[in-house]
Each structure stands twice: as structure tokens, then as C-alpha cells.
Amino acid sequence: MTLAQRIGIARSLAMYYGIPFRQRAMRRLYADVVPAGGLCFDIGAHVGNRLRCFRALGARVVALEPQPDFARILRRLYGRDDGVILIEAAVSAEPGEATLLASARTPTVSTLSPEWAAQVGATPGFAGVSWQAGPTVPVTTLDALIARHGRPDFVKIDVEGLEPAVLAGLGQPVPALSFEYLPTVKHLAFACIDRLSRLGDYRYNWSEGETNRFGSAEWLGAAEIAGWLDRLGTDARSGDLYARWQR
């Protein structure tokens, strides 16, 4: 392992495990969408901070992470937990294999999408970030995961630009999910909203950055959340959009 990789891993562990009270705030947020005894898919589990939260809420977790170094960390931290299934793979629209674009010093932005890397790499927020061709990793789909593990109550998607492709591999509505939005590439979030609208009637909310607070007191329809997203300036902070299916 190179020095840059060690620095990147240490940075991720400090960011997601080293801030006091973050887990408590996270549990308050996810309690609205993660039922006790339910099933969560953690797509892009990284160091497992969301996985840890879902387990604290009493949910079982299927966690996927394609980066070998972080898959090893997950196995070390959660490999003995019977309520956790760890899979070293990525998720996209079709099963197969893909080349990971790795960012050693900032591994949270490693991606399978060269288009995303090119687009965000040209923005000030990613100044100094570089990607190199990494390992070839296995790829599965949400439908394949559902066929094997059952329909999840909540799906967390954090895949650095591949969110529309992940949802393209989902052929049925799920009760709740989240996906990342970046104001500089908001067309990806619009594509996710459009895909979900074809699967079912969803209501939306958002959480900015790592605040672990919903941005709206009311859950919004697809047109309302799209309007909110459209009004965001390119210098606004990124975050996650949350969607709940209105059965």
C-alpha cells in the first residue's frame, strides 16, 4: 500500500468515525426511513459509517464496496456481525465488470464513471483531486441483489456519478432510498428523479452535506424537489436526496 493510500484511508476513517455525536444525529435522520428489523442495502459502503447507523437502528444490512482496501476494512469491522452481509462489488445498470477510477488521497470520490470524473474534476471543489485507473471490479445490479436477499426497506446510494445507472438496474419501487446530489452535475439527480417517477409515486427531502438534518419540514413531490434542485447555485453544497414511496 502506498503512502497516498494510507493517507486516504486515515482521512476517511477520521472523517466518518472521528467526529463526536455524528452517529447520534445520523440515527435521528435515518429513523424516519429505516425500520427496526428491516433490510437496508448500503451501496458504496466505504468505511461503513452508515452501515453502523443502520445496525444501531436494528436493521439488517447488505453492504457493497468495490474498493479492495475499504472492503478489507469493512470485513475487519463488521465481518463477524451476523446481521451484515458484505459484498466486494459495485452496482450499475448491468452485471459484469468495470474499471475503477481510484483517487488514492481522496478515496471517497473514487468512481466507475469517467464522465463524472471529467466533469467534476474541472470544478473548484475538486481542485487537486486526481484519478488513476484502478482495479477491475465485479458489478451487480439492484434487481440481482433483491432476487438474492429480498426487497430492501431502504437503499443508500453513494457511487460518485453512477447513481442513474444504479437506478436503471432497479425494476420495481422500494419503500425508501437516498442518492447523492452535486450542484455542478445536477443533471444526474434529475435523471434519478425521473427514473423513480417511472417506478412509483415518491416524495422527497434532502440533507445538506453531513448535517444529518432534513432540509424541509414537509416531504415534496417530484416537481417540487426538481424545482428546488434547479434553483441551487453551482456553488451550493452537495448532499443527499431522500425518496419515500407513496404506496
pLDDT single digits (tens) 158-186: 999 999 999 999 999 999 999 999 999 99
The pTM of the full predicted model, rounded to 2 decimals, is: 0.92
Which of 78, 76, 124 shows the shortest CA–CA distance to 62? Answer: 78
141: cell is 445490479
Rounded Cα gap, residues 227 and 201, in angstroms:
17
Average confidence score pLDDT of the chain: 92
Task: Give residue 16's pLDDT.
Answer: 61
Rounded Cα gap, residues 111 and 103, in angstroms:
8
* End-to-end CA, the chain: 48
Task: Give residue 108's pLDDT.
Answer: 83
Q: pLDDT tens for residues 27-79?
A: 999 999 999 999 999 999 998 999 999 999 999 999 999 999 999 999 999 99
List the chain domain ranges.
3-245
Q: Which fold has domain 3-245?
A: Rossmann fold (3.40.50)
Which of 145, 173, 170, 152 shows the shortest CA–CA distance to 247? Answer: 173
| Helix 222-231 × helix 186-199 angle, to 10° | 180
40: cell is 437496508
